[in-house]
Structure 1
Amino acid sequence: MSNLLVRVLPPRALKLLASVLPLLFLSGAAHGDVPAPSPFRQAVPGYVYSFPRDFGSRDDFRVEWWYYTGNLEAEGGSRAFGYQLTFFRVALEGAEKTVNPSRWKVDQIYFAHLTLSDLDGGQFHFFERINRKGLGLAGADAGSPRVWNEDWTLDAQGEKHVLKARESGFGLDLELTPLKKPAFHGEDGVSLKGQDAGNASHYFSYTRMRTQGRVLLDGKEHKVRGTSWMDREFSSNQLNGGQAGWDWFSVKLDNGREIMLYQLRLKDGGIDPYSSGSLILEDDSVRRLAREDFSIASAGRWTSKHTGIEYPSGWELDIKNPKVRLVVEPDLKDQELYNLRSISGTYWEGSVSVKGDYAGSAVKGKGYVELVGYGKALKQVLPE
Structure 2
Amino acid sequence: MRRFSDHTAKPVIIGIAMLLCLSVGSGAYAKQAFRQALPGYRFAFPRDHASHPDFKTEWWYYSGHLQTEDGQRFGYQLTFFRVGVDPSLRGDSRSRWAVRDLHLAHFAISDLTQRRFQFWERRSRGALDSAGALTAGFKVWNGPWEASGDEKVHHVTARAEGYAIDLTLTPTKPPAIHGSHGVSQKAAGPGRASHYYSLTNMATEGTLTLTGKPRTVTGSTWMDHEFGSNQLTESQVGWDWFAIQLEDGAELMLYQLRLTDGRADPHSSGSLIHPDGQVEHLPFSAFRLTPQEVWQSPKSGGRYPIRWQIQVPGRDLDLSVQAAFPDQELDTRGSTLVTYWEGSVAISGTAGNRPIAGVGYLEMTGYAAPFRQPL
AA at the equivalent of 1:38: Q
How many angstroms does 1:197 deviate by? Answer: 1.2
Distance of aligned partners of 1:45 and 1:304 in 2 relative to their CA distance in 1, 3 Å threshold: same
How many angstroms does 1:102 deviate by? Answer: 4.6
Q: Secondary structure at the match of 2:33?
A: coil
User: Structure 2: 5+ residue runs without aligned partners?
Assistant: none
**Residue 3 of structure 1 corresponds to which residue in structure 2?**
3
Q: Does 1:55 align with 2:39?
A: no
Choose which of 204, 208, 215 in structure 1 pairs with 2:197. Answer: 204
Distance 2:151 2:40 in 1: 28
**Residue 46 of structure 1 corresponds to which residue in structure 2?**
40
Distance of aligned partners of 1:97 and 1:82 in 2 relative to their CA distance in 1, 3 Å threshold: closer
Distance 1:280 1:82 in 2: 22
Q: Secondary structure at the match of 2:48?
A: coil
How many angstroms does 1:340 deviate by? Answer: 4.2
**Is the CA contact 2:184–2:193 (under 8 Å) kept in the aligned structure 1?**
yes
How many angstroms does 1:320 deviate by? Answer: 1.2
**More off after superposition, 238-247 vs 214-223:** 214-223
**Residue 357 of structure 2 corresponds to which residue in structure 1?**
364
**Residue 219 of structure 2 corresponds to which residue in structure 1?**
226
Distance 2:302 2:270 in 1: 26
**Residue 307 of structure 1 corresponds to which residue in structure 2?**
300
**Residue 20 of structure 2 corresponds to which residue in structure 1?**
24
Distance of aligned partners of 1:75 and 1:115 in 2 relative to their CA distance in 1, 3 Å threshold: same
Distance of aligned partners of 1:208 and 1:100 in 2 relative to their CA distance in 1, 3 Å threshold: closer
User: Structure 1: 5+ residue runs without aligned partners?
Assistant: none
AA at the equivalent of 1:65: W
AA at the equivalent of 1:72: L
Number of aligned positions between the proteins: 375
Distance 2:102 2:25 in 1: 22
Q: Secondary structure at the match of 1:378?
A: coil
Choose which of 127, 138, 145 in structure 1 pairs with 2:131. Answer: 138
**Is the CA contact 2:19–2:58 (under 8 Å) kept in the aligned structure 1?**
no
Query: What is the correspondence of 1:93-104 to structure 2 with a 5 Å cutoff?
Result: 93=86, 96=89, 102-104=95-97
AA at the equivalent of 2:279: V
Choose which of 341, 348, 351 in structure 2 pairs with 1:355. Answer: 348
Choose which of 271, 275, 278 in structure 2 pairs with 1:278. Answer: 271
Distance 1:97 1:165 in 2: 28
Residue deviations 1:199-229, cap 9 Å, x none?
1000000011100111111222221111110
How many angstroms does 1:36 deviate by? Answer: 6.9
**More off after superposition, 176-185 vs 304-313:** 304-313
Q: Secondary structure at the match of 1:186?
A: coil
**More off after superposition, 111-120 vs 214-223:** 214-223
**Residue 150 of structure 1 corresponds to which residue in structure 2?**
143
**More off after superposition, 258-267 vs 211-220:** 211-220
AA at the equivalent of 1:3: R
**Is the CA contact 2:137–2:150 (under 8 Å) kept in the aligned structure 1?**
no
Distance 2:311 2:350 in 1: 10
Distance 1:128 1:270 in 2: 32
How many angstroms does 1:305 deviate by? Answer: 1.5
How many angstroms does 1:326 deviate by? Answer: 0.4
Identity of aligned residues (%): 43
TM-score, normalised to structure 2, is: 0.95
TM-score, normalised to structure 1, is: 0.92
Distance of aligned partners of 1:189 and 1:71 in 2 relative to their CA distance in 1, 3 Å threshold: farther
Distance of aligned partners of 1:201 and 1:218 in 2 relative to their CA distance in 1, 3 Å threshold: same
Query: What is the correspondence of 1:86-97 to structure 2 with a 5 Å cutoff?
Result: 86-93=79-86, 96=89
Distance 2:336 2:207 in 1: 28
AA at the equivalent of 2:203: R
How many angstroms does 1:104 deviate by? Answer: 2.7
**Is the CA contact 1:27–1:241 (under 8 Å) kept in the aligned structure 2?**
no
